[in-house]
Amino acid sequence: MEFATLGGCCFWCLDAAYREVAGVRQVVSGYAGGHTPNPSYEQVCGKRTGHAEVVRIGFDPKVVSYADLLRIFFALHDPTTKDRQGADVGPQYRSIILAETPEQMEAARAVMAEVEAAGLWGAPLVTELVPAGAFWPAEPEHQDYFNRNPWSGYCRAVIAPKLAKFRKAFAPRLLRAGA
């Protein structure tokens, strides 16, 4: 199993989508990219830890490539808005790739160039690409949030529409075709 650490909006959105991708074996919501050890959700939301809300994805590279996980990543959020995803505003929502190996760093550069060249977003990417450092798992209530709270307002208004769009665009890559 290999790992990918990505942040590009509220971690609940990324968590929900990646749990449906064939080859993904584990998704853990958490915090990375900052300087405060073992931060709490409240501390990260306070915008002083330097951390982003991220997911750490354990995946089987024989089933899904790191590059394909990144292509999904760039479709799940707007990588052209600094510190903002819709109504979620702050550095904890920034677009960030935390590369675990030199090979991941190289693959991320290549996929970012591919996304830029395709003009998918109509604006330059602001995604940070940095070496992975410490990852701090989020509190238990943030793990698999969408599946445990499908009727909450945020899940219904924000996550469900993103998942519907994701499922349509990536149907062949899902655990259950047409999931």
Q: Are strands 24-32 and 52-59 parallel, antiparallel or unpaired?
A: antiparallel
Is 9 annotated in the active site? no
Give the span between the Cα atoms of 19 and 36, in whole angstroms.
28
Give the span between the Cα atoms of 94 and 88, in whole angstroms.
10
Give the span between the Cα atoms of 111 and 109, in whole angstroms.
6
Residues whose CB is less than 8 angstroms from the CB of residue 63 and which lie 6 or more positions away in sequence, other chains included = 22, 23
Q: Which of 9, 10, 13, 155 is catalytic?
A: 10
Contact indicator for 2, 103 with CB cutoff of 8 Å? no
Catalytic annotation, residues: 10
